Amino acid sequence: MGSSVDTAEARIMEAAVPAIRKLCEGRWEKLEYQDRVSEACRIFLEDLRTMPLNTGRFLEEFRADLEVKMGELNRRAPSPRFDHCSLDAVFSDKTGETFEGYCLIPSTPTDFTGSEVDEFLLSLPPLARGILTLSMRGHESSELAEMFGISISRIDQEMEEIRRLYNRWNDTNI
């Protein structure tokens, strides 16, 4: 499912890659250049999805985040015997057990669902959006009924309608 968020993100990444490549030149040299660029692009995309964009400081904050994360990756990379170290190279530890260089990259899974949830919420009518938003924050049906001044059965009907709209929006059944 291609959304306008995906398209905008792709255009932003396309515009950012030349600058990211330039940032990686001559730095973090324990890692191969293409690995540096790849990781820097991943960090940029992660920051694009998680940092506030309206502060006017996104690039400054990205560069600071990049310095920290790439510095850590570079420090954790094995000392190269030659000019560089490849993340796809095979290394061995003191016990003789082998591993690929990619194992040295600590990362948490990136959650891409936030923008999809926001997009779905925006597609809902105001009452349904309010009910779902407060429900996701842990409010019970009785609390929602009181807040919106409607019956619990109406809350249940709205939740069923939200489920139906989601199934249609996502083309799946939950």
Encode pLDDT of 12-53 as tens digits. Answer: 889 999 999 999 988 888 888 888 999 999 999 998 888 887
CA-based radius of gyration for the chain = 23
Domain locations in the chain as residue ranges: 4-104, 113-170
pLDDT > 80? residue 64:
yes
93-145 pLDDT tens trace: 778 887 776 666 666 665 656 677 788 888 889 999 999 889 888 889 999 99
Domain 113-170's class? mainly alpha
Q: What is the pLDDT of residue 37?
A: 92
Nearest to 47 by CA among 62, 34, 57: 62
Q: What is the pLDDT of residue 161?
A: 92
Q: Please give the structure tokens belonging to residue 76.
A: 């954790």
Global pTM value: 0.46
**Plot region of 61 (φ>0 → left; ψ -120 to 50 → alpha; else → beta):** alpha
Q: How far apart are CA 129 and CA 122, in angstroms?
A: 7
Element (H, E) at 52: none
pLDDT > 70? residue 3:
no
Q: How many Cβ atoms sit within 10 Å of the Cβ of residue 34?
A: 13
SS3 category, 53? coil
